[in-house]
């Protein structure tokens, strides 16, 4: 095996594929990256049974072949390589990497012990890569981080006709985002629901964000969902189960409605939360005089700020939130203003965008974020 490749292309391919490597594994070969050189291209693959990432790059291949190299060691090497062409070769059981007089020799792993890679699922439809990356980022902030509750660490993806719905919840918040996608003929009349690991989905969506379109692949009963964009192909293994239904949670009949400038509220929450102790809430007092007063802290260590806000449905309403959760919700929106539907202290609060003048009502409902407010006010 011998090939020559541009340093930037090599480092990018290795870096993307290395995202699939497990942090720790009892199976040493899963810490390896599979390099396959053939017919003017290099393919780099990372695999850990939960995800497979394959990235292709142009290369001048003198001798085709395959090699399995320790992934994180190769990634470290790529980070320090000088710019310019990189020459790589397999010499007996050693893989060499050379660029501008700098030469590395790396040990290899046994190819015979590397597990068979999953076949890519058949194409099912396409979605705009940038819109998909934005939508995934908006909902994954609400996904759980507790690995002992794997169901809550996932993002529920539903594909139905021309609409994709993404949802995530950690029990204290629930984010939902809708966007358009283009189903292929095989998907006609068939709704697909899949629960995907949030962290991996966010990582792949970011990596494909500039690819134009992302092709989604699915094989019924296969247990995998595929995503392909540009020269990167990723397959994610589905999590078991599905998230609880959110329809009744998002029913906010009788709620008091407040509107406020999103960036102003975000900065104010960050500011007053400086004096808040760990797990202490930030209180928001909305009043019909056109303002909201933010307060945080106890005793002598307190902070307060008043902002313009509109209130409909009551003379006043007081709610308090975990400041981190509230900031996650606010920063997940892109609109200049947000609308908060409030049921009161210790109850649900629903945030969604206030559409720009002239925009359709669908813009407001495309992304919604539900938060539980704190029972005990500051």
Q: Where are the alpha helices (DSSP H) in 245-351?
A: 262-272, 323-331
- Predicted local distance difference test score (pLDDT) of residue 26: 84
Mark whether 180 and 260 lie in a shared domain. Answer: no
Domain contains 57: yes
Q: Is the pLDDT of residue 268 over 50?
A: yes
DSSP 8-state class, residue 319: E
Mark whether 233 and 340 lie in a shared domain. Answer: no
Return the exposure string of 166-188: e unless at least 16 CB atoms fall within 10 Å of the residue's CB, then b. Answer: bbbbbeebbbbbbbebebeeebe
Domain contains 249: no
Domain contains 29: yes
Contact (Cβ atoms closer than 8 angstroms) between residue 55 and residue 231: yes
Domain of residue 207, CATH code: 3.10.150.10
Q: Is the pLDDT of residue 361 over 90?
A: no
Q: Is the pLDDT of residue 14 over 90?
A: yes
Q: Is the pLDDT of residue 294 over 70?
A: yes
Count of domains observed in the chain: 3
What would the two tokens of residue 30 be? 């899963």
The CA-based dihedral angle spanning residues 357, 361, 365, 367, taken in that order and rounded to the nearest 10 degrees: -40
For the stretch 4-13, pLDDT in tens is 999 999 999 9
Across the chain, mean pLDDT equals 93
Domain contains 244: no
Going by pLDDT thresholds of 50, 70 and 90, the confidence category of residue 360 is: very low
For the stretch 176-226, pLDDT in tens is 999 999 998 666 667 889 999 999 999 999 999 999 999 999 988 889 999
- Predicted local distance difference test score (pLDDT) of residue 104: 97
Mark whether 265 and 365 lie in a shared domain. Answer: yes
Mark whether 130 and 199 lie in a shared domain. Answer: yes
Q: Is the pLDDT of residue 140 over 70?
A: yes
Mark whether 131 and 99 lie in a shared domain. Answer: no
Place of tokens 């970011």: 206
The beta strands (E) that lie in 171-329 are given as 173-180, 182-183, 192-197, 213-218, 224-229, 232-237, 256-261, 282-287, 291-298, 301-308, 310-312, 316-321
Domain contains 251: no
Domain contains 90: yes
Least Cα distance to 55 among 76, 73, 39, 41 occurs for: 41
Mark whether 146 and 66 lie in a shared domain. Answer: no
> Which pTM value belongs to this model?
0.92
What is the Cβ-side half-sphere exposure of residue 376, based on CA atoms within 13 angstroms?
4
Least Cα distance to 130 among 203, 56, 214, 53 occurs for: 214
Domain contains 248: no
Mark whether 129 and 205 lie in a shared domain. Answer: yes
Place of tokens 């200049």: 336
Domain range holding 165? 123-237
* Neighbouring residues of 102: CB distance < 8 A, sequence distance ≥ 6: 81, 82
Residue 241 Rama label (left phi>0; alpha psi -120 to 50; beta): left
Domain contains 246: no
């Amino acid at each position: 095996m011998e090939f020559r490749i541009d340093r930037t292309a090599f480092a990018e391919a290795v870096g993307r594929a290395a995202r699939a490597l497990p942090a720790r594994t009892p199976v040493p070969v899963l810490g390896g990256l599979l390099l396959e050189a053939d017919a003017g291209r290099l393919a780099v693959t990372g695999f850990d049974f939960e995800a497979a990432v394959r990235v292709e790059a142009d290369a001048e291949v003198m001798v085709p072949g395959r090699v399995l190299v320790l992934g994180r060691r190769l990634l470290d090497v790529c980070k320090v390589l000088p710019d310019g062409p990189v020459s790589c070769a397999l010499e007996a059981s050693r893989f060499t990497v050379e660029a501008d007089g700098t030469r590395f020799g790396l040990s290899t792993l046994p190819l015979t012990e590397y597990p068979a890679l999953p076949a890519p699922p058949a194409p099912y439809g396409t979605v705009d890569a940038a819109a998909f990356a934005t939508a995934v980022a908006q909902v994954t902030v609400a996904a759980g981080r507790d690995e002992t509750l794997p169901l809550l660490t996932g993002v529920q993806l539903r594909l139905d006709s021309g609409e994709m719905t993404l949802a995530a919840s950690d029990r204290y918040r629930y984010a939902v985002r809708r966007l358009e996608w283009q189903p292929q003929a095989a998907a006609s009349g068939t709704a697909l629901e899949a629960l995907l690991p949030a962290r991996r989905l966010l990582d792949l969506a970011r990596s494909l964000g500039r690819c134009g379109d992302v092709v989604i692949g699915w094989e019924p009963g296969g247990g995998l969902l595929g995503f392909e964009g540009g020269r990167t192909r990723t397959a994610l293994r589905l999590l078991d189960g599905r998230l609880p239904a959110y329809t009744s949670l998002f029913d906010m009949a009788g709620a008091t409605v407040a509107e406020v400038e999103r960036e102003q509220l975000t900065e104010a929450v960050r500011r007053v939360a400086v004096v808040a102790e760990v797990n202490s809430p930030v209180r928001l007092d909305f009043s019909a005089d056109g303002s909201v007063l933010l307060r945080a802290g106890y005793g002598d260590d307190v902070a307060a700020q008043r902002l313009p806000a509109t209130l409909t449905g009551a003379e006043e309403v007081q709610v308090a939130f975990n400041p981190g959760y509230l900031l996650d919700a606010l920063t997940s929106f892109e609109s200049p203003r947000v609308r908060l539907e409030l049921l009161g202290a210790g109850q649900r609060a629903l945030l969604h965008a206030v559409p720009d003048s002239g925009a359709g009502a669908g813009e407001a409902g495309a992304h919604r974020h539900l938060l539980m407010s704190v029972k005990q006010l500051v």
